[in-house]
Amino acid sequence: MGSVLSTTWENLPSITDFHPPTPAAYTTVLTVFQYFPVFTLLEWILSWYPAGKTSLKTSPFNVPGRIAWFAMEILGPVNLLWNLSRSTPSLVELPITNQLIVALYCIHYANRAVISPFFSAPSMSPIHAFVMGSAMLFNWMNSSCLSGWLSGYEIPIAGYRTNGADALSSSGPSPFSGRLMLFTVVGVILFFYGMAQNIRSETTLFRLRREEAERRASKRSEDGSPEKNEGNKYHKVYVIPPAKGSFRYILYPHFVFEWLEWTGFALAGLAVFPLTLSSTTTTMRASIAPALRPAPWILPAAWAADRLGLPLPLPAVLFVINAVSNMVPHARWGRKWYVEKFGAKAVAGRGAVVPCCEVM
């Protein structure tokens, strides 16, 4: 056993191989990242999540909410842009379809890292350093996978055609074919619709928190009660959204809309192909990465792509799977928190992310 671990360790790429990722490093991080859903099983068992509504009041490991959130969310686009600026071909040399995917990713995280914490949210509770570090690791791995994919690396999947196998043949589709461009257009529409609705749902929550904080402040002023939370009157003021609009049937519509957003991202990614740019022309030539043994939950997407004769945007598909597997248990525990805080009557039979489902 020791010799196997030693050999595996010796065969791992060096740290410098990940910035930007080499084909071997790309396969390594993708292989590890595809098993992220296994780690989220702990989130179904443990309610411990020291951030947001359930953050710890006092802990030496607390990080100010806005700073922690910014650090967590900004790492992804910074790592992606850094890797693509140093890879060959570079970011400015990539085809327009690849650049579009980069733009969509950065637009999302510009909102998540800057606009949401510093301009939209009335306050942010402290975030435990473990949560911040875990989120940073997730975003680093995700953006590293995306940068290898967008750089043109093709990774073979056992038993299925590779990501751009059809594109490499003269008879196969091109990234600018009508069918794939249709997927791209539909994907971009879904992305922006999901993002707009995600922002709208979160903004509704922020507005309700502000209104509740103002109501409490007004009541204290009338009663002559001493002020609480002098630093920020919105701190730890939470409300349950009324059962109307996007909150009519579920308590976490912003989660569902973010999944829709990344599903659109993956559809748009169908137009990304393995390629290498030369100084005179663009040729569809794959940079082959070592083979990947896929996790079981990737097989349906690989099978569908194989049957439909479409490239498989594996890192983008993996992003959707990992986002859902991470956020569903958070929504489940969040619903439980709502019931304990405001009562079952206020929850009004709503599910967390599935209508009328008390478990989810």
Give whichever of 193-202, 216-225, 279-288 has the largest mean pLDDT. 193-202
The CA–CA distances, whole Å, from 22 to 43, 49, 99, 158, 224 equal: 32, 35, 20, 21, 65
Q: Give the CA angle between residues 254, 256, 261 to the nearest 5°.
A: 90
Across 91-105, 132-146, 295-309, least confident range: 295-309
What are the pLDDT digits (tens) for 298-307? Answer: 999 888 888 8
pLDDT > 70 in the chain, percent: 83
> Bigger pLDDT: 287 or 29?
29
**CA gap 335, 327 in Å, rounded:** 12
- Rounded to a whole number, what is the distance in angstroms from the first to the last CA of the chain? 41
Going from N- to C-terminal start, the domains of the chain cover 14-166+283-347
pLDDT of residue 247: 93
The whole-number average pLDDT for the span 5-14 is 55
pLDDT of residue 284: 40
SS3 351: strand
Buried b (16+ CB within 10 A) or exposed e, 110-132: ebbbeebbeeebbbbbbbbeebb
Give whichever of 21-30, 73-82, 157-166, 207-216 has the largest mean pLDDT. 73-82
Contacts of 221 (CB under 8 A, 6+ apart): none
Confidence band (pLDDT; 50, 70, 90) for 48?
Answer: confident
- Strand-pair category, 127-128 with 62-63: antiparallel
pLDDT of residue 322: 97
Asked if the model's pLDDT at residue 202 lies above 70, the reply is yes
The whole-number average pLDDT for the span 131-157 is 91
Give whichever of 15-29, 155-169, 249-263 has the largest mean pLDDT. 249-263
pLDDT of residue 205: 93
Across 47-56, 225-234, 323-332, least confident range: 225-234
The whole-number average pLDDT for the span 68-84 is 96
Asked if the model's pLDDT at residue 181 lies above 50, the reply is yes
pLDDT of residue 15: 80
What are the pLDDT digits (tens) for 209-238? Answer: 998 888 887 877 766 655 555 567 777 888
